[in-house]
Every structure is written in structure tokens, then in C-alpha cells.
Structure 1
Amino acid sequence: MANSKMKYDLPHIPDELFFDQILPRLPVRSLNRFKSVCKSWLHVISSSNFVKSHLHHSISSRNYFFIRSLPFTKQNPIRSSPTECYVLNDNKHENKLVQLDVHREFQLNLEFCRRNCVIGCCNGLVCFYVDCGRFVKGKFILWNPATKVSCVIETPCVQHLAKCGFGYASNIDDYEIFASFESLYRKPGTTQIQAWVFKVRVGEWNPIIDLPTDVGYFPRGDSNATYSGDHLYWIVGGFKDSHIPSFDLSDFKFKDVKFPVTMNTRF
């Protein structure tokens, strides 16, 4: 009788330990399920501080995600999606590269575009640019493969996309898309460039007023930027006049990085 009245107290886990140390180490699929437990859990898991903590722990993961953009050829019809995705789980028991179905696994629809390419990746987010045809506004797609959430961002104009880049501005805790456009209507031998920045959190395009005097170089060289430390970098120009402009995502300022003297510019 005495034994039947015994109380078994479950060990109590402090909220600080649970939300700060345990949950941030769980996979995204589990966290999405936990959002349905109650409103307080939804609020915590959706907060920017929790997202940063989860990202910090995810960096040490040995799961790798690869995206391959295929060239636009006759084998890739206009209404197909020339993008392949692979996942690699690198551990001592198994090291296998598995291809995933973009539409079925991630609910990402790229069929409406004429062609697409990967602009960049940052903190688990992938940025695509899709070309919808001449004289039609293109679209950027931000995609989170872990949560299967994507959003479509229409370009601010119908001009030809010259340069673009995707990165994170730490001072304002926001992701940004840089895009410069070359006018479709210009005199022969001239270049007319407009540049814009899209702030994801704000949800709008902002024009860049102070363009560098040598912005005419922008249509040459690689179109996609390399992101590093709140900056976007391009190698632009020709064989004798190559240089590396950088764009600060925090203050929208351009700077020129000196080209290494010993570097072969024939890339």
C-alpha cells in the first residue's frame, strides 16, 4: 500500500538548459514539429537569437548539401529545371552522395523560368536567379532547403542583369541581394548601369546612388559575386585592366581591392 502511494518525480530540466543547449542541437525537421507544442515554443524557436544559436551548432555538422546548375542546352528544355541537388553524409560508417528531387523533396518550383542559376549561398540559404525572357522582369528565389521554405523576389526593372550577389549584413541582421542592370536601350559603345539592393527583412529594393566612375566595367567578367565578411567581390575587366571591386552590404559603399601583382589575370 505504501509503495502504491510513492511519487515518482521526473527530473526537472531548467528552461535555460533546454532552450539554450538542447534544442539548438536538434535537426530542423524536429524543430519544425516542436513549433506546434505551444505558442511559447513557437516564439522561442522562431526568434532570431535561437536561429543564430542553431546555425552556430550546425556548422560542426558533417552533412553537406550540393547544388549544381546545368548549362542551358537542347538536353535541358526551356520548361525543365536545370538544377540538381545532392546531400552527403560524411561519417565513418557511410560516405555516399545521394541526389534529391528538387520538386518533391524541397517543394521548389523552377519550371516557370527560361533558365536559372545559383547566385550564392549564405548561412544555409540559397539564392537563385531565374531568367523569364527578354523584356520581362527576372526573379530571384531565396530558398531554405532545411525548412523547404522559399520566396520569390521580382527584379525592380526589365533591363539585362549584369552583376549580382547575395550575402548577410551583420550590423542590421539582414540578408541582402545586390543586382546591377545594363540598359537594353543604349547607344553603341556606351554603358548605362543601374544598381539596386534588396533587403530581405524589409522586403523592398533600394537604388544605389553613389556608383563608382568605372561602373562600366561591370558587364564584363564573372557576373556572380563572392561573399565574405559582409562584402561582395567580383573580378571584372579585361586582360590588362582587371580589378576587384567590393561592395559593402552594411553601408552600400564600393571600394577597389588591389589585384595581386603575381596573380595571372588570364583566368
Structure 2
Amino acid sequence: MAEMEKNNNDDDNSLETLNATAFSENLIIDLILPRLPVKTLVRFKSVSKFWYSAISSPQFAKFHLKFSIHKFIILADYPPIRLLLSYDEHNNLNDSEKLGFSLELCFTKQIHQELHQILQFQPEITPSGVVEFVGTCNGLVCLYFRYFDLVKDKTLASFAVCNPALHEHSEIPNPDGSREELVALAYWFGYVSSVDDYKIVAKFVLFNGDAERETFEFHVFSFKSWGWSRIYDLERVCTTFDRLTREVMVVNDVLYWTPLLTSTDRLRPKRKIVGLNLAYDQVKEFSWMEWLFEYINVDFFVINECLTIICSTLNHYDIWSLKDPNNWGSWEKLFCTSSNQLGSMRIVNVTCTGKFLGRSYLPERFKIIDLSKNINVEPQREVYFPGNLVLLGTGDYVESLISPIGLGKSTKKEDHEV
């Protein structure tokens, strides 16, 4: 009898130990691991099957984003710079960090496959092309590669989405890859929360040898279905525009595409802004506000989840915000600031909270500017670069566990450091 009671006590103690261990592991998974950097979490996957399963889950990857530190990513074509800029709560930029991932290698295999025959018989030809910055979202960086083959007289092109922290990437070919003359000239990449899908929206130009008869097409790529779909309604609406900006803004899953302004725009009262609902691929037109013609330059951004316009004159800037996305007439001027606030700097990016990354030349430098504050505030720390940069683009970047390989099918993986 005493032996049975002892065994029961041992069983109870073992059960309590197991429960305590499980409870402790759940606390670690829920409260501690989400605050750790990606490199550490990748190592921790080998601790146990439970940790591997938990850290690899999409739910954990999304939760981890809430604790990730926002930085600016800076990509330059010449010199080939791939850097991250972090900043503190006082808008001081910290020393730049090198991005430990070669973005160009996302396309290396595709280039070599296409050019293998040429290189075999003409080794003096060096594979080269143009890598363009499309955008960033949740730790993913989207790029577009174009290479013109002079021998075969065709253009090779494809998109790629990579996660520099995980050293992984997925390659996305052009729609209808047999048409080499189809080249993307404007694009957007991001996450559509209402349908839990990552998408690429692109305006492609169809080069047919006659510049006056070139046509364009709009296509949307869904990572969930892993395929392109053509948006004919967007093409019909956009026939009134000569050109569209590369910068595309998205608020509440609606994409806003604005026209490039020219000196003749005052004579074009039918100028519109195009809207595309990314959840349903529905197109909507928005009227071009007459008061915008009072300004020399107009730039669209997203600040605090609101569509925002930064308008400049010779001596000041006005910042307008669309307070209600369902009411196009709800534009409201947030504040006005002197041109001296920016000085020689040009705005190249905006944080989600409305702080502007400014860039100046000679010398090449970057600085965070808060236009809503008085110019007499304490100056912020700047970051300098030698020479002048040929900038590909800048974006908001966070380290994340979201794998581009998990976004769709037909993917590739590289594990390399530079």
C-alpha cells in the first residue's frame, strides 16, 4: 500500500513537472522569443521540435513583427551600397549597418540559365542588367531585374522578393513570359490585409518596335494564387494619362496612382487620380483637386495610415491629409512649414509616424526631419557618405521571419553572406 502511494506521488510530481515545463515554454514562446532578433531565433529552432514548430509558424512571424525595430533601407546602384539606417526616439540617425545579403544574387541563376549559350560561344560578353527597387513590406524586399540581350535582341525581366534576414528569395517571372518585349515601368509591392495576401501591381509597356504605337498593360500578381491577372478596367481609365509616377500609395487596401505633373497640366481639367481596390481588383477614379495647381511640386505619402500630400511653393510646404478615405472631400491641411526647414534636402522617404528622411548632396548626407516641429529645435544627428550615390530607392525595413518561400510556389533559396 505504501509502495502504491509512493508511485502515485511520483506520477503526480512528474505530471506537475511536465505541466510546469510546458507552461514555462509557452511563456518563453509568447513573451520572450518575439523580442529577439531573427538571427537568434533561427538558431533557436534547433532547441527542440516544439520550438522549431512554434518559431516557424506564420502566427509567430506576424507577432514577431510587432516588436521589430523599424529602420530605413538604402539601396544605391553606384557605388553598390546596401545599408540599413536605424534611428532613436529623438530622430537621431545611428551609424549605418551593412545589409548581409546580396540582392543581385536573387537573379543570378536566371541570368546564367538564359545567357549560358551566349557565354559559351562569346565569353567576352559580361552579363549585366538593371536591378530596380520596387518596395519593402514586413521585412520583405521586392526588386525588378531587366537585362537586354543585344545578341538575341530581347529583354529578360523578372521580379524577386527576398528576406535579407533569412537569406531567402522567390523569383516571379513576367506575365506571359514568352513576350520578352513586355517590360515593367511602374510598380508596387505590399501586403493586402483584408485578403491576407502579398501582391505586386505593375504597369507593363509592350515594346513593338514603333515608339508611337507602344501599348501598356496593368497586371496584378497574387502570391496566394501564385499568378498574374490583367486589370483591363485600369487600362481603360489610364488611357487619358501620358505617364504615371513610379510612386504608388496604398491606404486601407486601396492603391492610389497619381499622374506625373507637367507644365501643361493646368490645361487638362479632366486629370484624375486612379484608385484600385487590391482586395477585389476594382477600379475607381478620384478627381484631381484644383487647389493642387497652386503648388510647384506635389508628393504623395502615407502617414499614420492616411493618404498625405506634401505640397511645395517657393517659400513654404503645406501638408494635407485625407481624413476619411470614404470621403474624397475630407482633405485637411495639417500644418504649414517654412522651406528653410528642409534647406537643401529632398524628401526621399517617410516613416509610418510622419518623420521624413531627407537627402542632401555635396556632401552626400541623410537626416530625419520632423516638419511638424519648429526649425529651432535641437538639431538631429546626420549620416554622411563619401561621394554621390546613384540611389535605387529607400524604404521602411524591419527584420522579420516571414519567408518569401512560404508566400507561394516555385521558389528558390540562397544562403550566403557578403
Query: TM-score per shorter chain, which class?
Result: 0.7 to 0.9
Quote how far apart the aligned CAs of 1:31 are. Answer: 1.1
1:118 lines up with 2:128 in the alignment: no
CA contact (8 A) 1:119 1:224 kept: no
1:67 lines up with 2:91 in the alignment: no
Quote how far apart the aligned CAs of 1:33 are. Answer: 1.0
Residues 34-43 or 182-191, more deviating: 182-191
Q: Distance in 2 between matches of 1:82 and 1:197?
A: 30
How do residues 38-117 of structure 1 correspond to structure 2 at under 5 angstroms?
38-58=48-68, 61=69, 64-70=71-77, 76=78, 82-88=80-86, 90=88, 96-100=94-98, 102=99, 105-110=100-105, 114-117=129-132
Provide the residue aligned with 1:154 in structure 2.
173
CA contact (8 A) 1:122 1:167 kept: yes
Aligned residue pair count: 243
Quote how far apart the aligned CAs of 1:91 are. Answer: 7.2
- Aligned in 2, Cα 1:30/1:217: closer, same or farther, shift over 3 Å? farther
Provide the residue aligned with 2:287 in structure 1.
258
Over the aligned positions, Cα root-mean-square deviation in angstroms equals: 3.0
1:205 lines up with 2:236 in the alignment: no
Q: Distance in 2 between matches of 1:206 and 1:91?
A: 42
Which of 130, 134, 145 is matched with 1:130 structurally?
Answer: 145
The alignment partner of 1:137 has SS state of strand
Identity %: 30
- Aligned in 2, Cα 1:49/1:165: closer, same or farther, shift over 3 Å? same
Q: Distance in 1 between matches of 2:55 and 2:225?
A: 21
Give the unaligned 5+ runs of structure 2.
1-16, 112-127, 298-418
Quote how far apart the aligned CAs of 1:238 are. Answer: 4.7
Provide the residue aligned with 1:164 in structure 2.
187
TM-score by length of 1: 0.77
| Structure 1 outlier segments of 4+, above 6 Å | none
1:178 lines up with 2:171 in the alignment: no
Q: Distance in 1 between matches of 2:97 and 2:41?
A: 24
Over residues 79-99 of structure 1, what are the superposed CA-to-partner deviations in whole Å (9 max), with x where a residue is unaligned?
xx845323325379x953224
Quote how far apart the aligned CAs of 1:227 are. Answer: 3.1
CA contact (8 A) 1:247 1:253 kept: yes
Which of 221, 246, 253 is matched with 1:230 structurally?
Answer: 253
Quote how far apart the aligned CAs of 1:132 are. Answer: 1.4
The alignment partner of 2:195 has SS state of coil
- Structure having the larger proportion of residues in helix: 2
1:143 lines up with 2:141 in the alignment: no
Over residues 211-265 of structure 1, what are the superposed CA-to-partner deviations in whole Å (9 max), with x where a residue is unaligned?
3523225661322422333232221155424432122221112222333332246
Q: Distance in 2 between matches of 1:166 and 1:218?
A: 22
Quote how far apart the aligned CAs of 1:30 are. Answer: 1.3
Give the unaligned 5+ runs of structure 1.
1-8, 71-75
Q: Distance in 2 between matches of 1:223 and 1:87?
A: 23
Quote how far apart the aligned CAs of 1:189 are. Answer: 4.5
- Aligned in 2, Cα 1:85/1:228: closer, same or farther, shift over 3 Å? farther
